[in-house]
Structure 1
Amino acid sequence: MIDDWRTSSHSGQEGNCVEVGWSADQVGVRDTKDRDGGTLRFETEVWQRFLRSLDA
């Protein structure tokens, strides 16, 4: 279960952003305006590869 959610400090007050949360083996991404609308879930290693690709 993903229960530790964070929103970027760069999001501002408008709420047009996503939250990222994590558990021991998954990372979740959801819309801050519709938190019950669904969550994209990724294995931790897949998420880490995605983040590394942003640095390239």
Structure 2
Amino acid sequence: MPPTSAPTASLVEVGSAVWRKSTFSGASNGCIEHAELTSDRRAIRDTKHREFGAIVFESSAWHAFVSSINSGTLPL
């Protein structure tokens, strides 16, 4: 299967997104935040370094990633 290009999002969309911090980070800022974007995409960013931007995923890739973490099948 040929590689596909990563989805993109505008700076305005990422900047105006509603971000949620991972529940695993507790009171610290040592984790990630995620946001739902338009066109069925998700974005993640480093809580400590929001100024570095975000990585955008298709919703299906995000759900597969979260599912593999929850099931313990994510290869390390």
- TM-score w.r.t. the length of structure 1 is 0.77
User: Which structure has more helix as a fraction of its residues?
Assistant: 2
Gaps of 5+ in 2: 1-12
Query: Helix, strand or coil: the match of 2:51?
Result: coil
Give aligned-pair identity as a percent: 34
- TM-score w.r.t. the length of structure 2 is 0.61
Tell me which structure has the larger Cα radius of gyration: 2
Residue equivalent to 1:47: 62
Q: Is the 8 A contact 2:20 2:35 kept in 1?
A: yes
**Inter-partner Cα distance in structure 2 for 1:37 and 1:26:** 19
How many residue pairs are counted as aligned between the two chains? 56
User: C-alpha root-mean-square deviation of aligned residues, in Å?
Assistant: 1.6
Deviations along 1:1-41, whole A, 9 cap, x unmatched? Answer: 24021012331222111101111321111011111212111
- Structure having greater relative contact order (Cα 8 Å, sep ≥ 6): 1
